[in-house]
Structures are given as structure tokens and as C-alpha cells.
């Protein structure tokens, strides 16, 4: 888990958040054990920015990964920063309900771990189509 947290921390350092100053880094492990990271990127036209989690998902998919097995995410300070609702659904597209989501301080200390099912109960996925 430490490599995942360190990758999220390094990604957070590269976040582009000049408006909110809320830097977020995320890292995801794929089914092969590889780690992919992403950061949030704000835009002056606020709805056009994107979160760290989809950035990491994109890197994972471009790297040939098919499934997210574990996630680490961190925001500012020591407060709990979980993926937003939209990001939870995006993670759900590529992860099973038992995938661990580790929420950390900006210094990389683990605050709490959840399963995706805990963060997104009764979720909607491809099996519902």
C-alpha cells in the first residue's frame, strides 16, 4: 500500500488547482499490480476541470490495465478526502465492490480505508444494463 500512497502524494504535488487551492492526488493499482496516478486539473471555466481519480483511471487504461484493485487518494491537510460521487461511479466501472479505497493525509498518513461497496452502496454497473 505504501507505493500506492507515495504515487498519490507525487501526483498531488503536480495538481493544477489555482482557483480552489485544493490539491488532490490519486493512485490506482491494476490487476497486474502496476500503479497509475493522476491529479486534479482545474479550469477557469469550472465545470471543465476534472478530478484526480479519472486522471488515474485514464493512465491505467492507457497503460493496458483492465481492472482497479486498490486506490489511494489524498487532498489538503489532515481531513478525510474521499472520491466524489462521480468519481465513485467512474471507479465502479473498473473495480469490484471489495476494492479498497485508502484515504490519506497530504503527508501520506492513512486516515481510513473503505471498500467501494461502502462508499457506493447499491451501485449501478454494467450488470444492470
CA angle 92, 122, 28 (to 5 degrees): 20
C-beta atoms surrounding 108 within 10 Å: 16
Give which of 14, 78, 89 is closest to 52, Cα–Cα.
Answer: 14
Is 53 an annotated catalytic residue?
A: yes
Any residues with CB less than 8 A from the CB of 54 and at least 6 apart, and which?
38, 87, 90
Helix (H) or strand (E) holding 102, with range, is: strand 95-104
Beta carbons within 10 angstroms of residue 103's beta carbon = 20
Q: Which is catalytic among the residues 53, 70, 106, 118?
A: 53
**Under DSSP, is residue 9 helix (H, G, I), strand (E, B) or coil?**
helix
Active site residue ranges: 53
Amino acid at each position: 500500500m505504501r507505493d500506492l500512497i507515495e504515487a498519490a502524494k507525487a501526483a498531488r504535488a503536480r495538481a493544477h488547482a489555482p482557483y480552489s487551492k485544493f490539491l488532490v492526488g490519486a493512485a490506482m493499482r491494476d490487476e497486474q499490480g502496476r500503479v497509475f496516478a493522476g491529479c486534479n486539473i482545474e479550469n477557469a471555466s469550472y465545470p471543465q476541470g476534472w478530478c484526480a481519480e479519472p486522471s488515474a483511471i485514464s493512465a491505467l487504461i492507457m497503460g493496458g490495465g483492465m481492472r482497479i484493485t486498490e486506490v489511494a487518494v489524498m487532498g489538503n491537510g489532515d481531513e478525510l478526502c474521499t472520491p466524489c460521487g462521480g468519481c465513485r461511479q467512474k471507479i465502479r466501472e473498473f473495480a469490484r465492490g471489495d476494492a479498497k479505497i485508502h484515504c490519506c493525509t497530504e503527508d501520506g498518513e492513512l486516515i481510513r480505508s473503505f471498500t467501494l461497496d461502502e462508499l457506493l452502496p447499491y451501485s449501478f454497473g454494467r450488470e444492470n444494463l
